[in-house]
Structures are given as C-alpha cells and as structure tokens.
Structure 1
Amino acid sequence: MAQPQVIVIGNEKGGAGKSTLAIHIVTGLLHAGRKVAIIDLDLRQRSLERFFANRIAWTKANGHELPLPIVPDMGDGKLLHKADEAEQMSRFEAAFSYAKSSADVIVIDTPGGDTPLSRAAHGRADQIVTPMNDSFVDFDLLGEVDPVTLDLIRPSIYSESVWEARKHRAIAEGRQVTIDWIVVTNRLAVAEARNRRRLASRMAKLAKRVGFRVGPGLRDRVIYRELFPFGLTVADLSNDIRPVSVSLAHVAARQEMRNLMQALGLDDAISAMDAAA
C-alpha cells in the first residue's frame, strides 16, 4: 500500500490560525474524495475535532449529508493533557498507526507551543503548513531581525524546530528526506501596506536561508468564523446548504481557499471545488 501523505499544521505561537487552516484543508480534501484522517494534538481546545462534531450534529438535524474525516480515538483530551509524556506518546502512536492504515491523507493540527507531541508530529510530516499573522510579532518565531535596521539576523526557534524535524526523520529513515515547508500569511488586514512590504522582504530572505515556500493564506473574513458552529466551510455551501446569507465576500473566500489548495499541490481538491461552484 502507498503511504498516506502527512500534512502537519504547525506554529509554536497561539492565535496564528492553525485550526482554521486545518479545517479548510481537510474539507477541501474531503470534497475531492480523499480519505482523510485527522489528529488534533491541541489537547485542551481541540477545535479541529469540535468542528467536525458540529458538522455531524448540524447535518443530521437538517437532513443533509457531507463528507467526514476519520477520527482516531485518543481519549478525553482534557485528561490526556494532564497525563505524563509516555501516556500521551502512546496514544498518539496508536492514533497515527490507525490513521496510516485507514486514510490517504493524515492532517495533524498541533498546539501553539513546543511539546513532545508536536515534535513527534513534525518528525512524521511530508508537508508542514505554518500560518502566521501579518506581523513581526509572528515572524519573530521564524527569524530574528535587527531592532534598528530590521535586517534579518538569524533563524529563530520554530525554524530550528523544523530543521530538527527534518534531521531526525532523515536519521530514522536512513536517507535524505525532503519535508515540504509552506509558510502562509494568515488573517491579512486591508491596510498596513508598508508593514507588509517590510515583512515580505524578510520572509523572502529567510525562505532561501532555511528552506520554505511562501504561500497564500486566508484573509480576516467573518465567513471563516460564522460557519464554525455549523461545522461548515465555504467549500460546503450550495443551494441546499446555506445557513448564512451568501455574498460576494463568500465568493472571494472560496477563491482564497482554492489558492491555498493550489499552493499545497492539492489539484484534485481544486477540481472538486470548481465543479461544485
């Protein structure tokens, strides 16, 4: 059997939009007919798992059917959060093993911090997707800049974590392994053009230095938040499924999602979205 593709959504800073990104990647893949397994390692919040629990409840109540991911059982997240590292790793290994035997794609959402579970997930990634806000506060986890000149000085803590993941996987598999790392600027504001130009320049320099691609993210749109309680994304909206009023902003959001899938190389998901549009 072919090994499933493993996509890890990672960033050690909270509030960057990891779960939002994971939700949209998973739903895009599901609509493309892919068998997707999800593993939510944000043990306290578990936004990714709750989103799909909402999806099950809403579609059942409204008489609709939508594709769902495979969710390996890791037990109660709040209890597991308090468990020791050995117990957490054991549960993760079991969930990952089940996902490998059941899915074409595994999407892992990681917490906003450096944890043993997050490091283990990064070490299994074929693709790492890192969302960051349009801010030097978020960039600081990727690279350090001179406070006077804003020149790039060196890679920062999360860049080092990805480098370690690449190294450990190469050692474990006994060969050179390429982990495709994509950084997407998320929650873009309309203004702040000067800040964006400065940030984009440093991003380009750091990308060459540590080896990531810069991809399109999702703007700060209400639609991404207002569909969460229903377990829906813009990819799910149709003439029958429309719990909120549809506007031109939703069309733009759908195009953003399409651009994201294209950057990730998920062409079948793009085709499915175009067919449903």
Structure 2
Amino acid sequence: MSTKAHVLVLANEKGGTGKSTVAVHLAVAMAADGARVRLFDLDERQRTSFRYLENRGRYQRAHGTALPLPEARVLATGADVQAAVAEAFGEGVELVILDTPGRDSPEARAALALADTLVTPINDSFIDFDLIGEVDPETYRVKRPSFYAELVWKAKAARARTDGGTLDWVLLRNRLSTLEARNRRRVGAALEELAKRVGFRIAPGLSERVIYRELFPRGLTLLDMAEIGEVSMSHVAARAEVRELLQALGMAGTRAEAC
C-alpha cells in the first residue's frame, strides 16, 4: 500500500471488535517505517486509540526511549472530518488513520466516504456477522447482505462517481478463539460466500490474547519487543499475527521489525 495521501479507516457499527488496537498497531508500524502518520480518534467520548498513543508518549518520556510515535488527535462530535483530513495532507502527513466509533454517526459516514482502505474487524461469531449479512438458521448459507454491507457498497459507488477512486474493503476476523472450531468453519464459509457478492476481501486479524490489554497502559505494541521485557511464546505468536496483518493490508512494517 502506498502511504502517499492515503486514508485508512477502521470502522463497523459494533463495539468491542478491537478496532482501536488494530488502528494503533498499524499507525505505529507505518511510523516505524518512516511515514508521517496522523491518527484521528472520532470517538470523542471513549478516545481509546488517542489514549493508547497518549500512554505511549508518556512511557517514552518516562523511560527516555525513542519509540515510533504517530501523531494522534481527537475529533469532536460534529467536526468536519473531510477538512481535518485535508489539513493533515496539507501539512505533509502521508497516511491518515480514522478510528471510528462502534456505532452509526455522521463522523463515521464521513470517514467512510473518504476511505481508500476500509478495515472492518469483526468477532468470529454470527452475532457480528449479522452486521454484514443475514444467514439461513438451518443451513448457515447467506440469504442477503445486511445494512452495513449495503452502506459500504453505496460508499464505493459514490467514490467511483465523484473522483474515480476505489475503496479497498478488508474484513478482519478478529479476536479469534481456539475454541468452537465448528463455529469458526461456518463463519468462515459464510464470509467467503458473502465476499464474492459484496466485494470485500478477508484478512487474518488478531487473536483474543491478554497481552493486547496488558500493553495499553504503557502504550506499547507487539512491535516493541525490546520494551516488553520477558517474552513468551504467546508474545511471539501475537507478533506474528501483527506481521500477517501488515502483509495482508500491503503495509510494509519492515523497520518496525527492529523495534
């Protein structure tokens, strides 16, 4: 993925899917690669991704480390998202990441309209799948796309009409558990079927691991192994997930390997 004037949006209309964790890991990886990255947190109330990077800056100052630190700002409710993105690019920012609330809002729809890449994390269950598609309760075959898939489809069409641009929609199977293998297979099959109908691609997300929650207070990511201290096999596996995610999105993250 070229980072030149690129807008990457983390969005769906459900909370608890790991959007902010993914957003911060992507921002840090690209900042480590030398890109100027600005992350806008569009959830003025929770501010999860903003606070994550705020914690990172605090950790950096306290420990005298030189961690890659993307710029982070909160956009107030009612703010002009398009103007904020235009201003960022005017200041030389190469990659804007928009972390949207887990609900429908004018700001989330404005972000969707600007997206070059849309990343939608979902938990691996039919509860979350219902956001994008309805399945038959007996066969688990997809009956029809749901409201959010239709919303993205309209955004893709509008983008093509306005500037001829394309929207790369990537769906992440996030917070995967090692349990319920049959459910995972059913969800996976339904996603593959729906992907062909509405035009998204599927990428591996981040598993359900305690380490992601533990790193938040220090603002660290799985790309900061030198700062984490004692490294377990779970840490190594989690870092491999982050690498796979970067590769799936076409984001380099090569210099982040040395963090």
CA contact 1:18–1:109 (8 Å) conserved in 2 = yes
Identity %: 48
> Would you say 1:165 and 2:155 are equivalent positions?
yes
Which residue is equivalent to 1:273?
256
SS at match of 1:123: helix
Structure 2 counterparts to residues 118-157 of structure 1, below 5 A: 118-157=108-147
Structure 1 residue 122 displacement after superposition: 0.6
> Would you say 1:179 and 2:167 are equivalent positions?
yes
Q: 2:215 aligns with which of 227, 231, 243?
A: 227
Structure 1 residue 95 displacement after superposition: 1.9
TM-score normalised per structure 2: 0.94
Structure 2 counterparts to residues 1-277 of structure 1, below 5 A: 3-72=4-73, 74=75, 80-81=76-77, 88-90=78-80, 92-101=81-90, 102-173=92-163, 175=164, 177-238=165-226, 241-242=227-228, 244-267=229-252, 269=253, 271-274=254-257, 276=258
Aligned residues: 256
2:70, 2:256 → 1: CA distance? 17
SS at match of 2:244: helix
Structure 1 unaligned blocks of 5 or more:
75-79, 82-87
2:246, 2:233 → 1: CA distance? 20
Which contiguous aligned blocks of 4+ residues in structure 1 show a shift greater than 6 angstroms?
A: none
1:47, 1:237 → 2: CA distance? 22
Structure 1 residue 73 displacement after superposition: 6.2
Residues 172-218 of structure 1: CA deviation (Å, up to 9, x unaligned): 22x3x321111111111111110011111110000000001110100
Residues 27-55 of structure 1: CA deviation (Å, up to 9, x unaligned): 11111111101111112111111111111
Match of 1:151, as an amino acid?
R
Structure 1 residue 70 displacement after superposition: 2.4
Match of 1:194, as an amino acid?
R
SS at match of 1:37: strand
CA contact 2:47–2:74 (8 Å) conserved in 1 = no
Residues 232-275 of structure 1: CA deviation (Å, up to 9, x unaligned): 1010221xx23x532111111111000000000012x1x2234x
Residues 12-69 of structure 1: CA deviation (Å, up to 9, x unaligned): 1111111111111111111111110111111211111111111111111111121222
Match of 2:240, as an amino acid?
Q
2:79, 2:149 → 1: CA distance? 23
Structure 2 unaligned blocks of 5 or more:
none
Structure 1 residue 228 displacement after superposition: 0.5
CA contact 1:39–1:108 (8 Å) conserved in 2 = yes
CA contact 2:135–2:142 (8 Å) conserved in 1 = yes
TM-score normalised per structure 1: 0.88
2:68, 2:98 → 1: CA distance? 18
Match of 1:162, as an amino acid?
V
Structure 1 residue 100 displacement after superposition: 1.5
RMSD: 1.6
CA contact 1:17–1:186 (8 Å) conserved in 2 = yes
